[in-house]
């Protein structure tokens, strides 16, 4: 059974890609509610937060202020409360639209305002959005006056219509490249072999210098891979510990402790699909290998797999116009959180995970599997204590076929244009495959968050 975060379409709405998914440059797990330069934090009704930064030349700080309620970014006044940011600003005045010294406040979608000089502000997000983001930038002081900088307080208040950020840019999606098209050339438990390059957006995340995968991911543009935050949270892996492979099909096995050279289905088996194939190199498959410049995990990720998103920024851009380049997966249309539906759809998952729940090695040959969408009512019967508003479910109730450990981070996709081969769209997130013992409930299928 698969559980996928469901707010991806709104998160990936233009600038929200950077502000709502590439949220935080440091951890939110802090004990104090006073924050220094560059931190991200959450605010609740009973837990406001403050941050400040004294003025000094050549300073750049970012704060991500997240309203900690269990609702999507476009919550439209959920429970009648919203985030409000109040600041005292004392900076050099700038006649050129606060270009050199400023405090920028944005909601990541449409609202954006800059402040400089000596002023006080009290703002809320445009369109009753959930979160706010602050960027403090200075380039230099051209006079001898001493400036204090900024002092801000963020708190949850009753919803109101006044004091909203001005809409200074338009949130929209621009389709500037082909996405979601498959190349038709020439386990996933109970799955089948995938054709070479059948899923040209599929990424293998491997230990550096190897072809041994530990998670999957999906190419979403020319620079970023969408995957699952838990792939790195529990292992402590850093950006420098991994690489990303695109155009990969046959990989090396990632072998687990207790492995045995026995038939698949017997405890410890490493005989998954492709186990006896000859070794394959990057050159053999024309695999593209990338270092990871930056690992950006969702700041609200929890060990219970809520907000299980991460982005990997590749060390270089991909020329998507090249004939041999990978193809990004399509993203759901922007601003369709309330209308986007997967009811009665068949979804597809692909990866190099374990081919059997008793296996002790990843499969070498890429596997694929079609799984049905599962309603929240049915899924809640298995995972009532674990299912959140950012998740959906898919899989077979009887658990005969499913994704398995090692498929984590890979995309769950569906074909939304069933014409001439169709076009494949992200069904909303990266898989998080859990061992059954990680959950109190034990459905027959392997849970995935």
Q: What is the pTM of this model?
A: 0.70
Least reliable range by pLDDT among 97-111, 140-154, 332-346, 417-431 = 417-431
pLDDT, position 280: 94
Instruction: State the average pLDDT for the chain.
Output: 75
Terminus-to-terminus CA distance in the chain, angstroms? 9
Q: pLDDT tens for residues 355-413?
A: 777 888 888 999 888 888 888 788 877 776 778 877 778 776 655 444 444 567 888 88
Most confident of 12-26, 145-159, 323-337, 420-434: 145-159
Using alpha carbons only, give the angle 202, 326, 420 rounded to the nearest 5 degrees.
85
Residue 9 three-state SS: helix
pLDDT, position 338: 57
Q: What percent of the chain has pLDDT over 70?
A: 71
Sequence-distant (≥ 6) Cβ neighbours of residue 176 within 8 angstroms = none
DSSP letter for 389, please: T
Contact 292, 185 (CB under 8 A): no
| Higher-confidence position of 295 and 431 | 295
Helix/strand/coil (H/E/C) assignment for every residue in 60-96: EEEEEEEECCCCCCCCCCHHHEEEEEEEEEECCCCCC
| Higher-confidence position of 414 and 73 | 414
Question: Which whole number is the average pLDDT over 249-274?
Answer: 87
pLDDT, position 36: 61
Q: pLDDT tens for residues 118-150?
A: 999 999 988 777 789 999 999 866 677 889 999
Question: Which whole number is the average pLDDT over 83-106?
Answer: 90
Most confident of 123-127, 237-241, 256-260: 237-241
Q: pLDDT tens for residues 406-449?
A: 567 888 887 755 443 455 666 645 554 433 333 322 232 333 33
With 50 as the cut, is the pLDDT of residue 8 above it?
A: no
Q: What's the CA gap between 243 and 365, in Å, rounded? A: 19
pLDDT, position 183: 57
With 50 as the cut, is the pLDDT of residue 219 above it?
A: yes
Which strands, in side-by-side order, build the sheet including 60-67? Answer: 40-43, 60-67, 132-137, 102-106, 112-115
Domain residue ranges in the chain? 33-68+79-158, 192-256+277-438
Least reliable range by pLDDT among 93-97, 134-138, 204-208 = 93-97
Question: Which whole number is the average pLDDT over 239-266?
Answer: 90
pLDDT, position 208: 96
pLDDT, position 22: 30
Question: Domain 192-256+277-438 falls in which CATH fold?
Answer: Thrombin, subunit H (2.40.10)
| Higher-confidence position of 174 and 327 | 327
Q: What's the CA gap between 108 and 129, in Å, rounded? A: 9
CATH superfamily of 33-68+79-158: Spermadhesin, CUB domain (2.60.120.290)
pLDDT, position 45: 80
């Amino acid at each position: 059974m698969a559980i996928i975060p469901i707010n991806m379409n709104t998160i990936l709405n233009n600038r929200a890609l950077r502000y709502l998914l590439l949220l935080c440059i440091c951890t939110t797990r802090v004990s104090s509610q006073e924050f220094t330069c560059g931190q991200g934090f959450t605010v609740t009704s009973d837990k406001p937060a403050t941050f400040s930064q004294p003025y000094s030349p050549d300073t750049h700080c970012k704060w991500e202020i997240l309203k900690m309620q269990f609702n999507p970014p476009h919550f439209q006044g959920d429970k009648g409360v919203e985030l409000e940011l109040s600041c005292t600003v004392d900076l050099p005045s700038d006649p050129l639209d606060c270009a050199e010294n400023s405090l920028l406040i944005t909601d990541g979608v449409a609202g954006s305002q800059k402040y400089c000089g000596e002023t006080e502000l009290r703002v809320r997000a445009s369109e009753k959005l959930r979160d706010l983001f602050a960027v403090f930038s200075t380039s230099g002081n051209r006079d001898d006056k001493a400036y204090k900088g900024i002092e801000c307080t963020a708190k949850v208040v009753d919803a109101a219509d006044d004091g909203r950020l001005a809409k200074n840019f338009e949130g929209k999606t621009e389709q500037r490249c082909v996405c979601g098209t498959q190349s038709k050339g020439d386990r996933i438990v109970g799955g089948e072999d995938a054709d070479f390059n059948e899923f040209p957006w599929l990424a293998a995340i491997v230990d550096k210098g190897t072809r041994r995968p530990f998670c999957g991911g999906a190419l979403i543009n020319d620079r970023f891979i969408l995957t699952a935050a838990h792939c790195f949270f529990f292992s402590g892996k850093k950006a420098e510990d991994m690489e990303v492979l695109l155009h990969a099909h046959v990989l090396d096995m990632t072998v687990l402790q207790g492995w045995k050279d026995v038939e698949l289905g017997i405890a410890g088996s490493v005989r998954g699909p492709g186990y006896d194939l000859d070794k394959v190199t990057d050159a053999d498959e024309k695999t593209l290998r990338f270092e990871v410049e930056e690992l950006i995990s969702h700041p609200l990720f929890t060990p219970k797999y809520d907000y299980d998103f991460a982005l990997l920024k590749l060390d270089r851009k991909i020329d998507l116009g090249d004939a041999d380049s990978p193809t990004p997966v399509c993203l759901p249309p922007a601003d369709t959180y309330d209308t986007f539906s997967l009811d009665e759809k068949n979804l597809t998952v692909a990866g190099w995970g374990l081919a059997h729940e008793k296996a002790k090695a990843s499969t070498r040959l890429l596997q694929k599997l079609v799984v049905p969408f599962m309603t929240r009512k049915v899924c809640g019967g298995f995972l009532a204590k674990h299912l959140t508003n950012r998740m959906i479910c898919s899989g077979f109730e009887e658990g005969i076929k499913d994704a398995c450990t090692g498929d984590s981070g890979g995309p769950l996709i569906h074909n939304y244009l069933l014409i001439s081969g169709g076009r494949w769209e992200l069904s909303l997130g990266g898989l998080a495959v859990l061992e059954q013992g990680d959950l109190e409930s034990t459905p027959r299928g392997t849970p995935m968050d």
